[in-house]
């Protein structure tokens, strides 16, 4: 008996030990959008538990109370209907469904990643003179490229933004579908080649937060991690200057080299970015003679089935 207790204790310890270091970042986010999504998860869970918990408790109580050995329980094999029970059984779930439907409808529009932010945090509206920080995000094989058009720099596997400043992410991919996800900041958004998705977000406190790919994309998928730095304006300015001082030139030729599949790409920066590079990536026209190019820059007469000249595509992903 002692050995069995020791074995059970060891098994319990073995199972719970890996959980000791877990941090539920989704339940303690650092961005306002992620906080609202966290609140939605909690509210929905509580509403569903209003049905699940009573059903479980009553199931166990009925099984215990109406057991064969309980002679005090009323035995009525001909019972088949109760208006009160019918009302409870149908009205309670119906009310929960109505509540969940209303919450889902409102939150789907309010938390739309394409919708401009209306607050920095609870009780803190967006200042009238606030200018969003634009960041172009490109999912490569198997790394992340971040282009800052206003600052004129680009970074690989490192992202930074000032605290309490709206961020406007424009997201695409080079070859296959991927998913851009910073749990502390906001929900995941898909990145697709030849298409652009958008995420509006804000980080509310300084720190280093994990970002990664949430969609399997091949051999090097497990290494598609990056650090997102939340900084004050002064530190962000110095971070930009370091990138300008220590980086090279992200020309189209340099991008073609960077886009080649590589695993566990180290963090590095580019001090300059070729004009129009992101648009060329989006339309798959880094090489203007490529048959995949979705603009009219190819030589005249070069057409093929499925060609969408002069058109860029946009896809909404929630």
Tell me, what's the pLDDT at 312?
38
| pLDDT interval class at 25 (50, 70, 90) | confident
| pLDDT interval class at 16 (50, 70, 90) | very low
Q: Measure the N-to-C terminal CA separation of the chain; round to a whole number of Å.
A: 54
Degrees to nearest 5, angle at CA 172 with 113 and 272: 110
CATH fold of the domain at 121-294: Immunoglobulin-like (2.60.40)
DSSP state letter for 27:
G
Which backbone phi and psi does 135 adopt, to 5 degrees? Answer: -130, 125
C-alpha distances in angstroms, 81 versus 85, 92, 170?
8, 18, 59
CA distance 267 to 159: 10
Single pTM value for the model: 0.79
* Contact in structure between 162 and 231 (CB atoms under 8 Å): yes
The two tokens of residue 52 are 């699940």
Which backbone phi and psi does 16 adopt, to 5 degrees? Answer: -85, -20
Tell me, what's the pLDDT at 8?
53
| pLDDT interval class at 303 (50, 70, 90) | very low
The two tokens of residue 143 are 């790394």
Mean pLDDT across the stretch 15-40?
74
C-alpha distances in angstroms, 7 versus 3, 14, 19, 20, 93?
6, 10, 19, 20, 43
Q: Three-state DSSP class for 210?
A: strand
């Amino acid at each position: 008996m002692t050995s069995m207790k020791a074995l059970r204790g060891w098994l319990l310890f073995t199972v719970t030990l890996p959980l000791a270091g877990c941090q539920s970042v989704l339940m303690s986010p650092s961005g306002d959008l992620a906080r609202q999504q966290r609140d939605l998860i909690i509210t929905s869970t509580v509403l569903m538990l209003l049905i699940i918990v009573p059903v479980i408790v009553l199931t166990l109580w009925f099984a215990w109370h109406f057991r064969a050995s309980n002679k005090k329980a009323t035995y009525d094999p001909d019972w088949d209907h109760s208006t009160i029970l019918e009302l409870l059984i149908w009205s309670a779930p119906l009310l929960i469904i109505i509540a969940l439907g209303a919450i889902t409808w409102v939150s789907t529009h309010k938390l739309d990643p394409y919708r401009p932010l209306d607050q920095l945090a609870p009780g803190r509206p967006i200042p009238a003179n606030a200018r969003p920080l634009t960041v172009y995000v490109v999912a490569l094989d198997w790394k992340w490229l971040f282009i800052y058009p206003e600052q004129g720099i680009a970074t690989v596997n490192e992202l930074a933004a000032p605290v309490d400043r709206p961020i406007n992410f424009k997201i695409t991919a080079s070859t296959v579908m991927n998913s851009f996800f910073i749990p502390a900041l906001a929900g995941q958004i898909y990145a697709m080649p030849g298409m652009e998705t958008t995420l509006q977000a804000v980080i509310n406190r300084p720190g280093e937060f994990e970002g990664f790919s949430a969609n399997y994309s091949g051999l090097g998928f497990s290494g598609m991690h990056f650090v997102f730095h939340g900084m004050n304006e002064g530190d962000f300015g110095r971070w930009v200057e370091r990138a300008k001082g220590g980086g090279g030139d992200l020309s189209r030729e340099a991008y073609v080299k960077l886009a080649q599949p590589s695993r566990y790409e180290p963090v590095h920066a580019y001090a300059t970015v070729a004009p129009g590079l992101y648009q060329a990536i989006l339309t798959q026209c880094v090489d203007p003679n490529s048959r995949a190019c979705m603009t009219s820059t190819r030589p005249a007469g070069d057409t093929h089935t499925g060609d969408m000249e002069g058109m860029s595509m946009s896809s909404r992903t929630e």
